[in-house]
Structures are given as C-alpha cells and as structure tokens.
Amino acid sequence: MTQRTQRRIGVLALQGDVREHLATLSALGTEAVPVRRPAELGTIDGLVLPGGESTTIAKLARTFELLDPLRDAIRGGLPAFGTCAGMILLADRILDGVSGQETIGGLDLTVRRNAFGRQIDSFEADLSVSGVEGPVHAVFIRAPWVEEVGPGVEVLARAGEHPVAVRQGRLMATSFHPEVGPEAGRGRLHRLFLDLIAAQ
C-alpha cells in the first residue's frame, strides 16, 4: 500500500461497464483510473472488477498476461470489489461456467453464473444491505447468485434466499450493478468498499 492520503482506485478495463465505475468513484471524490497492465496494479490502493462477461474478461486477462499478476496482487492483499461478472471473477468456485472458465479467485464462495434464469434474467429490486442505510435499488443483469459461502464470508444482502452481496477480508462483491441506476449517483456500495480499504 502507498502512503498517499488520497486513495487511487483502479478499474479493470478489459471489457464491461468500466466507465460507469470510474464515474461513480470520481463522484465520491476518489481518484479512479483504468487498469490494463500488470505494472499498474502496483500503483493503486484498491481494484474494481466491473460487470460485463466473465468469460471474456478472463480470456482477455489471460491474453494480456494479467491473470496471474491479478491473482498475485489479490493474494498479496490488494483490496478488490467485484460486481456481477466481477463477482464471478473473484469467486474461488463457479457453477455453470463455460468449460475451462478461469477465475482470479480470493472469495471463499461458489457462485452460479446466470443463476436467475432466462425468464427474469434481468430485473431490479430494492434490497436491504448491511452497512448501508435505507434500501438499495439493485439492478441485476444476467446476474450470478452465491450458492455456498465459506466460514469467513459475511453476507451483506440476499435476494430471496441467495446471497447477492458479500464481504471477506479485503474483498467485496455484489451480484448486482451499483454503478448503474439510481445507486450510481449515490455510490453507497463504492463508499462501503472505500471504508473497507480505510479500515486496513
């Protein structure tokens, strides 16, 4: 970790809704930068893994020789926040992945890709999220859910019976997209991530 007082947060910029995360973080007064190269991982205090398509992001990370540096950085304690596809990338285990689908890992949980099924594969819901005051308007887009959590994982929110927001140590993930819809302008989940970094 660096000694700067102002935190610099990276957003993994291979594919997905990178711009939206950069905008939400900037609106909170945080320096937010896109990350595409291994060397950039050493210049940030935290990393957001955006929504998009987890298979594509993982393939691009492999192609750009970022996958192992990402694993090393996260194992070495870099705080990370994954949303939707980003949650899948941070999960140690996935169900309904494509054959050979790789993750970065770090969160001791099993996620099921595209879990909410075709009929309601995109929907919105007001959720109560631990650590956030008042309901969070959550946008789910072909979202995963958490099927199993390890003992060290704290569940922050559920949709029905399934966890959709979790935290473990320096890592946090949501099945939904706090960087789009009304929550984007409020940035309360991103603030929770910044608080988690500050608490380290």
Using CA of residue 111, residue 61, residue 68, residue 190, what is the dihedral sign? negative
Q: Is residue 88 within the footprint of ligand GLN (CB under 6 A)? A: yes
Pairing outcome for strands 91-95 and 122-127? unpaired
Q: Is residue 85 within the footprint of ligand GLN (CB under 6 A)? A: yes
Tell me whether residue 179 is one of the annotated catalytic residues.
yes
For residue 189, the minimal CB distance to ligand GLN (Å) is 15
For residue 179, the minimal CB distance to ligand GLN (Å) is 11
Would you say 108 or 179 has its CB closer to ligand GLN? 179
Cβ atoms 94, 86 nearer than 8 A: no
Residues 6+ apart with CB under 8 A from 85: 16, 49, 50, 51, 52, 53, 54, 57
Name the one residue in this structure whose structure tokens are 């939400």: 24
Contact characters 129-148, ligand GLN, x per CB under 6 A: ------------xx------
Cβ atoms 189, 48 nearer than 8 A: no
CA pair distance 63, 73, nearest whole angstrom: 18
Q: Is residue 46 within the footprint of ligand GLN (CB under 6 A)? A: no
Tell me whether residue 84 is one of the annotated catalytic residues.
yes
Catalytic residue among 20, 21, 177, 190, which?
Answer: 177
Q: Is residue 127 within the footprint of ligand GLN (CB under 6 A)? A: no
Q: Is residue 53 within the footprint of ligand GLN (CB under 6 A)? A: yes
Residues that bind ligand GLN in the complex, under the rule CB under 6 A: 51-54, 84-85, 88, 113-114, 141-142
